[in-house]
Amino acid sequence: MTHSTAIAFAIALAAMLPPAARAADVLHVANVSRTLFSLPLWVAQRQGFMKDEGLDTTSHILDNAEKINAALRSGEMQIAMGTPEAVVIDAYRGGTLRIIAGNTGRLPHFIITKPEIKTLAQLRGANIGILSEKEGSTYVVQDIAKAIGLTPADYRMTVVGGAPTRWRLLKEGKIDAGLQPFPLSYEAEAAGFNNLGSVIPFVPDWQFTTVNADQKWAEKNRDVVVRFLRALQRGRDFMNTNRAEVAKIAAEQLRTTVELANRALGDMEKLAILDPQLGINEKGMAKVFDTLQKSGDIAADRKFDLTTFTDLSYWRQSRDRK
């Protein structure tokens, strides 16, 4: 065998090897908060689904959409499981961030307040902790306030970070209220804080979290993106059939008890929070767009068009069975 023939044979052999037999592609994944929304990723990592696709993935809690989107643009992070608002704004302003799959199509939050606030009316004058200036909780808080007759002058919103941070600040008395997902809402109730109810009656449809990427990177790494989404879907599927194991993973990642994690998984299923196919809730996405337009973040003459801020070709390709 000649030297050139040997090289050609080695290249052909490498191409035939399954992804796990090659050097793994490293993907840095940003997560907006340590909450149940990231569970499909954590399950896929723990169960080896990412490695099956030849991927070595990390998970970084950045707690803020602005940080996440800056990290996507710089290449520090390649994929984000975060909120859609800033991505939509970026795309309508000519930017390159895109939503590549769905995740959380309804809101899992409850209105949690300090013990002294026992009714929605008593939110007048409250300091409400929010995740970020341009994210879901900001706009949802505004919708709730408007529905109960409050004007922006009647309450204060303070950017503090994700749900775990809001829970800590509630306990420390540094904020008066915050939207908390389960299982943190359960912990708050047990600690004597008040649960004034689900946000779903105020906002029935809302695309709360999505899978995001910078299309400049994604276009050059389509195969990697597709493999990531395929493994992510396996993680989501595993959640349907292996409740006990998933509850253990959730308890570890969310730093709670298996009992509360299991309760949260049940409520998440009952309320249809996570999309089973990682698809987009178009009604929820339209609500996000409408809110951004009313707030002036998107020009009034722009039309709602999923293709402006999404590229679901990766998601569709990941669903093609080999």
Q: What is the DSSP string of 260-271?
A: HHHHHHHHHHHT
pLDDT digits (tens, 9 = 90+) for 244-268: 999 999 999 999 999 999 999 999 9
Q: Could you name the CATH architecture of 109-198?
A: 3-Layer(aba) Sandwich (3.40)
What pLDDT was estimated at residue 21? 53
Percent of the chain past pLDDT 90, that is, above it, reads 77
Say if residue 48's pLDDT is above 90.
yes
Specify the range with the lowest mean pLDDT, choosing from 220-224, 225-229, 259-263: 259-263
Give the pLDDT score at 22.
Answer: 62
Predicted confidence at residue 6, as pLDDT, reads 46
Token digits of residue 288: 């996000």
Residues in the chain, how many?
Answer: 322
The mean pLDDT of 228-232, rounded to a whole number, is 98
Q: For the chain, what is the mean pLDDT?
A: 91
Q: Is the pLDDT of residue 144 over 70?
A: yes
pLDDT of amino acid 69: 92
Would you state the structure tokens that stand for residue 104, as one six-digit string?
Answer: 């959380």
pLDDT for the residue 3: 47
CA dihedral 81, 83, 86, 91 (to 10 degrees): 60
Question: Tell me: domain 23-106+207-318, CATH 3.40.190.10, correct?
Answer: yes
Read off the pLDDT of residues 161-174 as tens digits, 9 standing for 90 and up. Answer: 888 899 999 999 99
Topology agreement, domain 23-106+207-318 and domain 109-198:
yes
Rounded CA-CA distance 90/311 in Å is 14
Helices 136-147 and 282-294 sit at what angle, rounded to 10 degrees? 80
pLDDT of residue 33: 83
Closest residue by Cα to residue 129 from 171, 100, 94, 82: 171
Give the other-Cβ count within 10 Å of 312's Cβ: 17
**Higher-confidence residue: 250 or 134?**
250
Q: Is pLDDT at 12 greater than 60 in this prediction? A: no
Mean pLDDT value of segment 77-103: 96
Question: Taking the mean position of all CA atoms in its chain, how far away is CA 235?
Answer: 15
By mean pLDDT, which of 132-136, 221-225, 286-290, 312-316 is the weakest? 132-136
Q: Note the pTM of the prediction, 2 decimals.
A: 0.82
Q: Break the chain into its structural domains and give their ranges.
A: 23-106+207-318, 109-198
